Structure 1
Amino acid sequence: MNRIISRLFFVLTLLFSVGALAANQLDGVRIWAAPESTRVVFDLTAKPSYTHSTLVGPDRLVLDLSDTQSKVALGKIANNSKLVKRVRLSKPPAKGILRLVIDLNRPVNANLFSLPPTAPYGNRLVVDLEEKTSESKAIVAPPSSLRDIIVAIDAGHGGDDPGSIGPSGLYEKKIAFEIAKRVQAKIDATPGMKAVLTRTGDYYIHPNKRSELARKHRADLLVSIHADAFTSPNPRGASVWVLSMRRANSEIGRWLEQKEKHSELLGGAGEIIQNADNEQYLAMTLLDMSMDRSMAISHSIAGDVLKELGKVTDLHKNLPESASLAALKSPDIPSILVETGFISNPKEESLLKSSSHQERLAKAIHTGVLRYFETNPPSDSLIASRANSQHKVSRGESLSVIAAQYGISVISLKQANNLKSDTLRVGQKLVIPKG
């Protein structure tokens, strides 16, 4: 009898142990704060089964995780969020449920989803919180006859999204941010240009939001900075990417369905066509024109940047490539994505970690961007007012006639065009220096 009781006790103990092991375990909580949003990440040992609800008076988000246990000291979680007051436990509605409460400082919109294990993280439940605000409007610069050219610099990944990870454990998000800050400094030091960062710290921004931030600042260009990776350590070299025509067309279609955004995307023209009977066709025509112009500019800038990168590092692609990339989803804003090198290649990872190499890459990106805008400045920009104009030689024109027309000397005209003689040919383009 004693033996039977002992065996029964052993089986019950084993069953209890298996049940305990089967339960999900909350291993940690991480709060990533951005200026206008916050991401809360719950690290778990298995895929979560959960429900959630929002409550007011005070504002809070309640999470119920089935078959889950926790030993996390929630009171010690690092938190610099303006939206999240704290994360705490609460009395569960039933046995086996872990109830978590996110106390909020103000009303929010919440988006919840689970993520499977991806190095260096395991299973996760992600809670994205955004403050409830009225429709954001584009930042409008004060009236001025001349303006700065705005370049949005997008450091890829961030927060709980590390991007690719190098052999030594180097995160792509760190490399992208370091190079982005260097590019920003160079652009801000260029008279007539101004840079804005899509993220100013180590936090996550959804790819959809990155182009929206660029549009909000009325950017003339979006430059997204990344580091490439592959399953083997062999590939190396930088490349520059632009939006594919297929992705651009799908985005145009999505925009056409959002009539309330036509004025945002098309400026004053959007407001004019809003009440027109043929609004859809007119909007499509204007958006197509905007897309064609934007993609042509993107290809040109990509070529200039790639040419400069080739002077300071190996190139993986000798010509700009096109792809359906989330960071380049706005066909109304010229956009390029720069892969600064392969972080999965040990030698290249070491280079990307080097501050001197980061500086060379940043200088190459800046030089390529500046070259394009010096040659093709927006007409209302400060750079356009300083830029040299061009003159196409017509039949019967001479250097003296052209110099007199622009009020400059023949000597300065010859020097600006590196001319060794006074001979001109019809159709020749001459740079006209500022008088």
Structure 2
Amino acid sequence: MPSTPQIRPEHVNKGLKNPPVSRRTVLKAGATLLLSVVAPIRAYAAQILAVRVWPAEDYTRVTLENDAALKATHFIVKDPERMVVDIEGLELNPTLKSLVAKIQSNDPYIKQVRVGQNRPNVVRLVFDLKEEVTPQVFTLAPAGNYKHRLIFDLYPVKPVDPIAAMIEKGDWSSDGKLPPSGAAATGSAPKGDMPPLKTAEAEALANAPQAQLEALKPNTKAEPRAELKNELKTAEKNGKLIRMLTVVLDPGHGGEDPGASGKNGSREKDIVLAIAKRLKDKIEEFPNMRVMLTRDGDYFVPLGTRVDKARKVQADLFVSIHADAFVQPTARGSSVFVLSEKGASSSAARWLADKENLADTIGGVNVKTQDRQLASVLLDLSTTAQINDSLRLGKSVLGEIGGINRLHKGSVEQAGFAVLKAPDIPSILIETAFISNPEEEAKLLDDGYQNQLADAIVKGIRRYFAKNPPLAKNRLT
């Protein structure tokens, strides 16, 4: 009787794509699985990539940039004032320790910070504060060149009042004192070649009713001197009052948002701040004009806050200053833009507005505290009259800038710039030159060109006021 052939494993597996699995392999896999259940893999600890501190009068921002999203809890401790922050999923590293040295002695709100490993995977930060603050702690998703960010914004309990800040800096007379009699009426110009106010213009500016008298007074509890009261009463009785003009200058970007960059490493936020400061000095050489900067240092101001600051000081004009960039380094020239509610005047204007409106994303805004309703109201209330005034202002300034630099386009352009949406203030955005063009970058870094540019903008503003004297008008509140 023939024997039954023995069936071996190699016969069964012959011809299969996968190689045979031995008993030993199966046992090893089972053991590995069992070990993974008994001893779970240690949680991944996020890594802090950079720390940055942005002190300013408005608020101080502390930024922790990391390679993963972090979860943080915080609480306030009294007597003395401290803010304690616990960050989960984090191990202390040298980068985070460097935060201690980044706190400056002149920081308005932070005295010092202490950093330590509170417990495994939890780092604790203790901010010793100079005064009581209202903190905002939030995270930002990756944007631009940034990874994940954990943000601490420390706002004073009593917010900085823009008018009070101007008074403290001497930008706004704290006693409401009028310019010397005849200073504006005679059209006497300060040093330089700025066009003086004509007599007819000065008279128009002087014929202001009671509303202008109130607008002149600073928002302060201090009582004016007796002689000043008499001076104001006399001006009111005669029906004439020298109309102070308030111009708000808005240096674009700042802080976490550097703006565009030049080939040689220059940053838009630095250049436009320097130009704005020069422009401020030149405007204030005139006795009937004062200036507020939306930022006077390297820190970020949200787009809506810039508009809000201008409205709080009842600005007569809003001028946002930028330095353009394009993918092609050959792009060049200066431009002036105003708001449009009906779409951009060109695809380039739309592209630029979209890019500038990303400032809040790059700079970092706490979306939970954004007043979306206010943003909607500002858009809805932007009137045809405001846009028409802005077009007149833009045309006047563009004409003067054209005398010192090539114009990218010979007319004022329009697009939906978020920073131009104050409903009651003529507002323009000036792209001074292309920082991405090496030749124009060199111009923007040159003191002489910055002076010429500031002079041209002042001439344009004065020319606009000469044709459109700002008489009394109802302010939206």
**By the TM > 0.5 criterion, same fold?**
yes
Tell me the equivalent position of 2:46. 24
Instruction: Name the aligned partner's letter for residue 124 of structure 2.
Output: R
Whether 1:371 aligns to 2:446 is no
Per-residue CA shift, 1:261-280, capped at 9, x if unaligned? xxxx9xxxxxxxxxxxxxxx
Tell me the equivalent position of 1:99. 124
Larger Rg: 2
Quick one: structure 1 residues 321 and 238, their matched pair in 2 at CA, closer, same or farther if it must change by over 3 Å?
A: same
Whether 1:203 aligns to 2:278 is no
Equivalent of residue 297 in structure 1, options 389, 392, 398: 389
Per-residue CA shift, 1:280-317, capped at 9, x if unaligned? xxxx9xx85x7222211111101111111111111112
Equivalent of residue 38 in structure 1, options 40, 44, 60: 60
Q: Is the 8 A contact 1:220 1:334 kept in 2?
A: yes
Partners of 1:356 and 1:134 in 2: how far apart? 38
Whether 1:223 aligns to 2:246 is no
Q: CA deviation at 1:230?
A: 1.4
Partners of 1:74 and 1:177 in 2: how far apart? 26
Instruction: Name the aligned partner's letter for residue 124 of structure 1.
Output: R
Q: Is the 8 A contact 2:260 2:325 kept in 1?
A: yes
Instruction: Name the aligned partner's letter for residue 83 of structure 1.
Output: Y
Equivalent of residue 93 in structure 2, options 70, 75, 79: 70
Partners of 1:189 and 1:254 in 2: how far apart? 39
* SS of equivalent residue, structure 1 residue 24: coil
Q: Is the 8 A contact 1:183 1:363 kept in 2?
A: yes
Q: CA deviation at 1:160?
A: 2.7
Q: Is the 8 A contact 1:31 1:41 kept in 2?
A: yes
Partners of 1:49 and 1:256 in 2: how far apart? 29
Equivalent of residue 131 in structure 1, options 156, 164, 183: 156
Tell me the equivalent position of 2:70. 49
Structure 2 residue ranges without an equivalent (≥5): 1-40, 165-214, 218-231, 236-240, 345-371
* SS of equivalent residue, structure 1 residue 361: helix
Q: Please, what TM-score do these two structures have when normalized by structure 2?
A: 0.63
Partners of 1:330 and 1:146 in 2: how far apart? 25
Structure number having the greater strand percentage: 1
Q: CA deviation at 1:77?
A: 1.6
Partners of 1:85 and 1:256 in 2: how far apart? 35
Instruction: Name the aligned partner's letter for residue 216 of structure 2.
Output: A
Q: CA deviation at 1:191?
A: 3.2
Tell me the equivalent position of 1:108. 134
Whether 1:241 aligns to 2:337 is yes
Equivalent of residue 213 in structure 1, options 288, 309, 324: 309
* SS of equivalent residue, structure 2 residue 118: coil
Per-residue CA shift, 1:188-234, capped at 9, x if unaligned? 11232221111122222121111111112111001010001112212
Per-residue CA shift, 1:226-272, capped at 9, x if unaligned? 00111221211111111221599xxxx944988xxxxxx9xxxxxxx
Whether 1:83 aligns to 2:102 is no
Instruction: Name the aligned partner's letter for residue 195 of structure 1.
Output: V
* SS of equivalent residue, structure 1 residue 190: coil
Equivalent of residue 311 in structure 1, options 386, 394, 403: 403
Per-residue CA shift, 1:396-419, capped at 9, x if unaligned? xxxxxxxxxxxxxxxxxxxxxxxx
Instruction: Name the aligned partner's letter for residue 132 of structure 2.
Output: R
- Alignment RMSD, CA only? 3.0
* SS of equivalent residue, structure 1 residue 224: strand
Per-residue CA shift, 1:16-57, capped at 9, x if unaligned? xx989x64322442221111211111233x133222222232
* Higher alpha-carbon deviation: 124-133 or 22-31: 22-31
Instruction: Name the aligned partner's letter for residue 77 of structure 1.
Output: K
Tell me the equivalent position of 2:186. none
Q: CA deviation at 1:373?
A: 0.3
Partners of 1:254 and 1:291 in 2: how far apart? 18
* Higher alpha-carbon deviation: 194-203 or 214-223: 194-203
1:258-273 equivalences under 5 Å are: none
Q: Is the 8 A contact 1:242 1:302 kept in 2?
A: yes
Partners of 1:157 and 1:77 in 2: how far apart? 22
Quick one: structure 1 residues 137 and 371, their matched pair in 2 at CA, closer, same or farther if it must change by over 3 Å?
A: closer
* SS of equivalent residue, structure 1 residue 89: strand
Partners of 1:293 and 1:320 in 2: how far apart? 16
Partners of 1:177 and 1:137 in 2: how far apart? 18
Instruction: Name the aligned partner's letter for residue 173 of structure 1.
Output: K
Q: Is the 8 A contact 1:34 1:204 kept in 2?
A: no
* SS of equivalent residue, structure 2 residue 457: helix
Q: Is the 8 A contact 1:147 1:380 kept in 2?
A: no
Quick one: structure 1 residues 134 and 169, their matched pair in 2 at CA, closer, same or farther if it must change by over 3 Å?
A: closer
* Higher alpha-carbon deviation: 137-146 or 227-236: 137-146
1:263-412 equivalences under 5 Å are: 288=381, 291-379=383-471
* SS of equivalent residue, structure 2 residue 452: helix
Partners of 1:61 and 1:337 in 2: how far apart? 41
Q: CA deviation at 1:134?
A: 7.0
Q: Is the 8 A contact 2:100 2:115 kept in 1?
A: no
Partners of 1:236 and 1:115 in 2: how far apart? 33
How many residues get paired? 329
Q: CA deviation at 1:161?
A: 1.8
Q: Is the 8 A contact 1:47 1:114 kept in 2?
A: no
Partners of 1:326 and 1:61 in 2: how far apart? 35
Q: Is the 8 A contact 1:59 1:107 kept in 2?
A: no
